Amino acid sequence: MAVASGKKRQLSLSLLLPELVRARGWEKQLEHYALFTRWPELVSGDLASYARPLKVERGVLWLEVDNSSWLQQFQYAKVELLDTLNRALSRSTLQDIRMVLPTVRAKDEPVPQPAVRLRFVSPDEEKLAGFRGQAEGIADDQCREALVRLWYLAHSCRREKS
């Protein structure tokens, strides 16, 4: 009996989670922020190491660029970069890319570090296949794939050791 109720709870969660993501409109946001983990893979050459995605707001990707020389280089590559990033998206599109320089600080002022630094680690293929098998009970293809993408992101973002 305990197995059946556990399975029932698992099935309920598997039905609820994709619906919650869709109802809250988080699918597009999750897809936009997935670009952050794929940044080095999507952005060609040196560009990826001289800028970092900060946020996506109203279809605009904000980048922090290391210095004014690189900011100008990104301006020249903006249309191509926007096209590349939009090809990596399936549910949404970015309308624009805006760039900012790092905040100027006094020499003795410490540079604030993000509370958590994340890095991308591909999840184990066997575990991914196992989760896909669990998600097969979801009849709606879009919900099932949204849940699998959510699982993938949750298992691919790892905290960096400080």
Cβ count within 10 A of residue 54 = 14
Cα(114)–Cα(141) distance, rounded to whole angstroms?
Answer: 37
Residue pair 58/28 in contact (Cβ under 8 Å)? The answer is no
Measure the CA–CA gap between 130 and 60, rounded to whole angstroms. 36
Strand partners, 157: 120
pLDDT tens by residue, 5-33: 555 555 566 677 777 777 777 777 777 77
Place of tokens 């995605």: 53
Question: Which pTM does this prediction carry?
Answer: 0.54
The pLDDT of residue 1 is 39
Q: Across-strand partners of 96?
A: 60
Task: For the chain, list the domains and their CATH numbers.
Answer: 15-104+116-159 (3.30.300.180)
